[in-house]
Amino acid sequence: MPVTMTDMQMFVGLGNPGKPYQLSRHNIGFMVLDFLQKKTNLPNFSPYKKWIAEISQQGNCLLVKPQTFMNASGDSVSQIVNFYKLDLSKLYVVHDDLDLELGKYKINFGKGPKVHNGLLSIYDKLGSDQFWHVRVGVDGRGGVRQISPKDYVLMPFSEIEQPVIKETITQVTDELSKLCTN
């Protein structure tokens, strides 16, 4: 039976393309989608140049990793949403959140962090913030704010933080996989 637009669930992981950013806090969206792809046995991600994204799709589940830089994520996301005529209530955007402590996450409809340029780009291109925000906490500074947020999110997780973020990714993936049935 073909998937209709009302059945489609779209999961977008935010991050920056390229090896220098691969393990940065800002790329937690990509990390979660990589785990989700494996957990749900979806096909490997493939580049889709028209949408400037890597895509994995099967059944009602569409995984998207925009290959624009974070601040232009809305370009890729809006093209795909418009192509599929996706109801925004079926859109889940996974992103880093400095408002949440490392190891925490929240899934909120229409509510993201105070400032996140990737989300601002999506809001601008979609004309709405009314979709699911999968907010993954990446703040491991323990209240010490000596490093600017811009620089901090581009840093990798420390050796001590790695087991914490891996457990958080597993928890988020477990929740999202329930929505992604093939």
Catalytic positions are: 26
CB atoms within 10 A of CB 103: 17
Instruction: Report which residue type is found at 64.
Output: V
Could you give phi then psi for residue 6, rounded to 5 degrees? -75, -20
Rounded Cα distance between 168 and 165, Å, is 5
CA atoms within 13 A on the CB side of 174: 7
At which residue do the structure tokens 């010490």 appear?
Answer: 144
Sheet holding 9-13, edge to edge: 46-48, 53-58, 61-66, 9-13, 91-101, 132-139, 105-109
- How many Å apart are CA 18 and CA 176, to the nearest integer? 25
